Amino acid sequence: MVIFMSYVFFDLEWNQGYPHGEDDKLDEIIQIGACRLDSWEGEIAPFSSYVRPAIHKKLHHRVRKMLPLSMDTLRRAESFRTVARRFFSWCGPNPVFFTWGNSDVRVLDMNLCWYGMEEFLELEIYDLQRAFDLLVLHTDQQAALKDAVEVLDLAGDMTYHDAGNDATYTARIGAELVRRFGALPSEAELDQMEAELRRERRERAAAEASQALGRVLRDKTPVYRRSCGVYKTTGDCLRSRNARVVRCPKCDSWLCNGNWLQIEGYYVARSRCLEHGRYYTCVTVQKGPLGARGAMHLFAPEDFPPDLFRLCKLGGKQIPVGKGLKKRKRPRRKRKVKAVTPQS
């Protein structure tokens, strides 16, 4: 666990330009909001300041729709260098920063580099959104700040999309997480929790996909079925033409599937006909004394739901097939060249 000595929760609002030149690619900060806590039970010290734009002279239509701001208000504000230095001085010595998500970190680094303030780049920043997702929701999906406030049943009387208010909400969420779970997990512990979550999700998806594939093979009739033959290994069987290449049952055009997805004893892949859409191949392999004997089943999309293939992608192990199958070249006939004797 990580024990922090000083806590600064900050949030940014920024303006974006229209894609014309290099300057328009910069997300320009127009407001910095923050809250400082000396302890998790202490009083919140607020900070909020608008930033005078120096690059984008107009508010982007999306920003104008989201933020109740006008360019007249921003033009009366201080420059980014002044506000940034005042903000870092207000933070005090050796603070640990908290944000909701990692987008604010990216935008802050971009603006600091743009204005030549690289001395403030080495910041220790904790992603509180990630901790909330894993500790409370048990997922790696990125929850919105408003949703987190509602889930934790915190007071939500302030408007959102204001840097000062959003920083206050983030501080309240951090204090509530500490009250419920104790010290916040470190980055390494969050990585471990996330890896465990993904492993459990893959195992659950693989079990559901295996059961669904068994039902499809038992209850549905494939549009085409054939034996792949006997091969030394399962990999040789999956790379063979008998397993990968088949003709479209409607227009007789060639179909060739991509990489395989292994779900327990099933191997699933999909191919596409330009005229009639997707087809799904399921191969089962039985190993015997002579080698691996495969059986190929081709299913139409109405018999193989897309949700099942998504489950296979989530829980299956990908088996690459290597380079595409080469076309058989016909031997060229050598043309006979007649020797021409020059006339004297």
Q: Residue 78 carries which DSSP code?
A: B
Residue 129 lies in a domain: yes
pLDDT average per 10 residues of sequence, the chain (344 residues): 74 85 76 92 89 89 84 92 96 91 93 92 91 94 94 88 94 95 94 95 94 94 94 92 91 90 94 91 92 94 90 92 55 57 54
Same domain? For 40 and 166 the reply is yes
Residue 298 lies in a domain: yes
pTM: 0.76
- Report the distance separating Cα 322 and Cα 101, nearest Å: 38
Partnered with residue 191 across adjacent β-strands are none
With 0-12 CB in 10 A as exposed, 13-18 as middle and 19+ as buried, what is 257? Answer: buried
pLDDT at position 206 is 94
Same domain? For 144 and 234 the reply is no
Contact yes or no for 283/295 (Cβ under 8 A):
yes
pLDDT at position 211 is 95
Cα–Cα separations (whole angstroms), residue 168 to 74, 136, 162, 236, 317: 22, 19, 10, 60, 44
Residue 91 lies in a domain: yes
Query: What does DSSP say about strands 96-99 and 7-15: parallel, antiparallel, or unpaired?
Result: parallel
Type of residue at 100: W
Cα–Cα separations (whole angstroms), residue 172 to 266, 282, 310: 49, 51, 38
Residue 95 lies in a domain: yes
Residue 194 lies in a domain: no
Contact yes or no for 237/286 (Cβ under 8 A):
no
Same domain? For 43 and 101 the reply is yes
Q: How many domains does the chain have?
A: 2
User: Please, which residues have CB within 8 angstroms of residue 198's CB and are 6 or more apart in sequence?
Assistant: 140
Cα–Cα separations (whole angstroms), residue 7 to 71, 92, 177, 288: 32, 10, 14, 64
- Report the distance separating Cα 255 and Cα 279, nearest Å: 9
User: Which is nearest to 88 in space by CA: 97, 99, 100?
Assistant: 97
Cα–Cα separations (whole angstroms), residue 88 to 77, 114, 119, 202: 17, 17, 11, 43
Same domain? For 177 and 229 the reply is no
- Report the distance separating Cα 62 and Cα 325, nearest Å: 48
Same domain? For 34 and 154 the reply is yes
Domain that holds residue 264: 220-319
- Report the distance separating Cα 98 and Cα 170, nearest Å: 8
- Report the distance separating Cα 324 and Cα 257, nearest Å: 10
CATH of the domain at 82: 3.30.420.10
Residue 191 lies in a domain: no
- Report the distance separating Cα 63 and Cα 33, nearest Å: 17
Give the phi and the psi of residue 77 in degrees, each rounded to 5.
-85, 175
pLDDT at position 344 is 47
CA-based radius of gyration for the chain: 30
